[in-house]
Chains A and B, each alone.
Chain A
Amino acid sequence: MKKLIIITGIVLIAGMITLSFRELPATKESSFATLPKDSIGSVKAYMSVYKVLMSARCMNCHPSGNAPLQGDDNHIHTMNVQRGVDGKGVYSMRCNNCHQAENTAGPHMPPGNPKWGLPPAHMRMVFQGRTPRQLALQLLDPKQNGGRTKAQLIDHMANDELVGWAWHPGEGRTLPPMSRLAFATQVRLWIAKGAYAPSAKAK
């Protein structure tokens, strides 16, 4: 009987946590759920987050250089496009000179979003070339993540419109390896279980 009560309790708590993840509104998140610290579970969740961040749709706008990347092979953006101070390009090569507020229809046409651009020069938030550990530490460091708290980091990943473009990238572009909802859930689990960074050996 005792066992049954304990098991029922665990199932109920797990269910509530799952529901709380799913039912969070698509608005600014100022706090986040916490779970008992679990370095293994936290790292496991992070590693699936990392796979998404390293996918072309995310990494192409988080390059190691000052030019955005294009395509599933992450080649450097044609036309010598530059980041610029604000991440929106330079001179007559501003991002939204070609990239509109929405995807332009058709294959090989410019994708679009109202916030289209790279991170600014003073906060480059590089993904390209980062190991899982390096990227985890970078994401958690407000000095390198755009001044975000953990709650703001979750909010950015789960709700930001430009991040969300990755799942609506337009014709001919592959999607990240999991849905946005699954991605947001893994981000929340990573943080909720202690926001552990994987070991330097993790690949």
Chain B
Amino acid sequence: MITITVNSQRHDIDVDPNMPLLWAIRDILGLTGTKFGCGAAQCGACTVHLNGEAVRSCVTKTGRAAGQNIVTIEGLSSGNNHPLQLAWNEMNVPQCGYCQSGQIMSAVVLLRENPNPTDQDIDDAMSGNICRCGTYQRIRAAIHKAAAMQAEGAKS
């Protein structure tokens, strides 16, 4: 039995500790916002937060997450109102949308550590997340917009 905390909820799950965390999140807990892309940490579609870091859950063993805090796209905000989610909607970022939860989870770490990123900072943070639709320009614009929204929020 492994205990993991996902989106502030504690779960005791009876799984092989070597099972990818992504399987636990999707197949055991039913949180399907996190996507399977490549299964080899090459695309970023499965990105979730493990103690605040943007891990690739397809190669992270569930045992590594035991007793740790995991946040998925479903737990990022209470009403889908994280500045990045708002900016994503406003800028119509997704095309097919498959990679977007991973993109947002990576962008959250960037804005937490660098509230006012340059284009280069965005490239450095986001180049592990691939978008086959090629929405990179809108992703970049939305991150800048979310940074501005975050700064506005901090002022008010």
In this complex, the interface size class of chain B, counting residues with CB under 8 Å from chain A, is 20 to 34
- What CA separation (Å) do A70 and B105 show in the bound complex? 26
A98 and B41 form a contact (CB under 8 A): yes
A104 and B59 form a contact (CB under 8 A): yes
> Inside 8 A of B114's CB, which chain A residues have their CB?
91
Q: Indicate if A180 sits at the interface (CB-CB under 8 A).
A: no
Give the residue name and chain of the B residue nearest to A102 (CB): B61
Given contacts A92-B106, A92-B110, contact A110 B41 (CB under 8 A): yes
> Inside 8 A of A94's CB, which chain B residues have their CB?
53-54
As a 0/1 sequence over residues 28 to 49 of chain B, the CB contacts with chain A under 8 angstroms (1 = contact) are 0000000000001110000100
- What CA separation (Å) do A93 and B127 show in the bound complex? 8
Given contacts A91-B121, A92-B110, A92-B126, contact A101 B41 (CB under 8 A): no
Contact of B40 among A81, A82, A96, A110 (CB under 8 A): A110
> Inside 8 A of A110's CB, which chain B residues have their CB?
40-41, 59
- What CA separation (Å) do A98 and B121 show in the bound complex? 20
B40 and A80 form a contact (CB under 8 A): no
B128 and A93 form a contact (CB under 8 A): yes
Q: Which of A56-96 contact B (CB under 8 A)?
A: 78-82, 90-94, 96
Give the residue name and chain of the B residue nearest to A110 (CB): B41
> Inside 8 A of B64's CB, which chain A residues have their CB?
100-101
Q: Indicate if A108 sits at the interface (CB-CB under 8 A).
A: yes
> Inside 8 A of B54's CB, which chain A residues have their CB?
91-94, 97
Question: Min CB distance, A26 to chain B, in Å?
Answer: 26
- What CA separation (Å) do A92 and B129 show in the bound complex? 10
> Inside 8 A of A80's CB, which chain B residues have their CB?
123-124, 127-128
- What CA separation (Å) do A98 and B42 show in the bound complex? 9
B124 and A90 form a contact (CB under 8 A): yes
A79 and B128 form a contact (CB under 8 A): yes
Q: Indicate if A109 sits at the interface (CB-CB under 8 A).
A: yes
B55 and A97 form a contact (CB under 8 A): yes
> Inside 8 A of B128's CB, which chain A residues have their CB?
79-81, 92-93, 97-98
Give the residue name and chain of the A residue nearest to B56 (CB): A98
Q: Indicate if B113 sits at the interface (CB-CB under 8 A).
A: yes
Can you list 7 A-B pairs, Cβ within 8 angstroms, ordered by A? A80-B124, A81-B127, A91-B109, A92-B53, A92-B109, A94-B53, A98-B128
Further 20 A-B residue pairs, CB within 8 A, beyond A91-B124, A92-B129, A104-B41: A79-B127, A90-B125, A91-B106, A91-B125, A92-B47, A92-B107, A92-B109, A92-B128, A93-B54, A97-B54, A97-B56, A98-B56, A98-B59, A100-B61, A100-B64, A101-B64, A108-B40, A109-B41, A110-B41, A110-B59
Give residues in A with beta carbon < 8 Å to B: 78-82, 90-94, 96-98, 100-101, 104, 106, 108-110
